[in-house]
Amino acid sequence: MNLALFDLDGTLLQTDSDHAFNEHVLRLGWADGAAFRRENDRFYAQYQAGVLDIHAYIDFATRPWRDRRADELAAGLRHFVEQIVRPALPVASADLVQRHRDAGDHLAIITATNDFITRPIADLLGVPTLIATELERDALGRATGAIRGTPSFREGKVTRVQAWLADAGLSLGDFERSWFYSDSTNDLPLLEAVTHPVATNPGTALEQIARERGWQVLKFFEAAAA
């Protein structure tokens, strides 16, 4: 029995869906252009540097749309997936997921990006199990700007994976082989927790760590861009 875990942004998806959705919000006219873009870029730089305050970020990122009508949100999200996400999903990403599916492995996408944005992306990849940062909802189902439970971020990814497996009476140690595919040093805690860490389309820092530790390095974005 084997387990395959996949980060999403920068790993399977040749963009950052969180940052890209915020740009989409601007195109929809749901936020002030200059000020919102500056903050969006500032938070993204914090994420890349490994110093993101994810609670502050979620409050910022959901503010322009969390009071909008459900049908308006659904339409905006559908357009985002079709116009932005689908073109940023290389065939090699779907093939990687499919190889593990064909092998009978347990599959999950685990991402720091919130569940509102990433649920349709996981569906696009045909992966039912999505472990994402969950948005707190009010009694009417509207996002409040807070996070429900443990964010799926840095050490929180390990916590969330362990909780998901525990619900099924399992643990990471129950799997003969466990893979985690990621591009970012933010994911070092979970990369270090599996038997087969794979630096996938990695940034410079993660690639250096991977080569020092003898981890597999997988690059297919370069081929997709050629």
Distance CA 182, CA 162 (A): 18
Residue 224 binned pLDDT confidence (cut-offs 50, 70, 90): low
Supply the pLDDT for residue 50.
86
> Active-site residue among 9, 18, 105, 187?
9
Distance CA 159, CA 156 (A): 5
> Active-site residue among 7, 16, 183, 187?
7
Is the pLDDT higher at 81 or at 50? Answer: 81
pTM of the model: 0.94
Distance CA 14, CA 8 (A): 9
Residue 223 binned pLDDT confidence (cut-offs 50, 70, 90): low
Q: Is 7 known to be catalytic?
A: yes
**Mean per-residue pLDDT over the chain, rounded:** 95
Q: Is 9 known to be catalytic?
A: yes
Predicted confidence (pLDDT) per residue in 166-187, tens digit: 999 999 999 999 999 999 999 9
Distance CA 198, CA 150 (A): 24
Predicted confidence (pLDDT) per residue in 103-115, tens digit: 999 999 999 999 9
